[in-house]
């Protein structure tokens, strides 16, 4: 059974940095894609960054060059380093995992993914 628990959200001023972490269990032995999504009230959940089962990374255009996703070798922690934050990055960030998504986690319909964390709020003030 896959379990995902996020931490590290908070408030920061525009231009600042935050690091989110997701404690992951149950994804190490299978070919899970893992990643981060975000959602603001009234909008659809959108993919932010992902790591595919072969270790390749992908990013939403809006965060390329600012955000960096990483996973430890034991596949027990998934981090998202967020730099040069903008007010439009304000959202609840969710960790996700799916066994079938492969390289396409970011564009997979959120309601089809296998597992989600509870979310952590990031607020960026101008």
- Looking at residue 111, what is its pLDDT? 93
Q: Tell me what percent of the residues of the chain surpass a pLDDT of 90.
A: 95
Question: For residue 30, what pLDDT band results from cuts at 50, 70 and 90?
Answer: confident
- Looking at residue 108, what is its pLDDT? 95
- Looking at residue 38, what is its pLDDT? 98
Choice between 18 and 28, residue whose per-residue pLDDT is larger: 18
Q: What is the pLDDT of residues 99-117, one digit of tens each?
A: 999 999 999 999 999 999 9
**Which residue in this structure is represented by tokens 């909008």?**
43
Q: Is the dihedral of CA 58, 62, 68, 71 positive or negative?
A: negative
The Cα–Cα gap between 101 and 114 comes to: 10
Estimate the share of the chain in helix, then strand, then coil, as percent rounded to the nearest 5: 10, 50, 40
Give the mean pLDDT of the chain.
Answer: 96
Q: What is the pLDDT of residues 36-74, one digit of tens each?
A: 999 999 999 999 999 999 999 999 999 999 999 999 999
């Amino acid at each position: 059974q896959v379990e995902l628990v996020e931490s590290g959200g908070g408030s920061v001023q525009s231009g600042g940095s935050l690091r989110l972490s997701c404690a992951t269990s149950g994804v190490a032995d299978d070919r899970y894609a893992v990643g981060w999504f975000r959602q603001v009230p009234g909008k659809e959940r959108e993919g932010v960054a992902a790591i595919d089962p072969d270790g390749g990374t992908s990013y939403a255009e809006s965060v390329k060059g600012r955000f960096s996703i990483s996973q430890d070798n034991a596949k027990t922690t998934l981090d998202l380093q967020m730099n040069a934050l903008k007010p439009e990055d304000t959202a609840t960030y969710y960790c996700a995992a799916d066994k079938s998504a492969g390289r396409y986690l970011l564009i997979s319909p959120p309601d089809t993914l296998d597992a989600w964390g509870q979310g952590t709020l990031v607020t960026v003030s101008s």
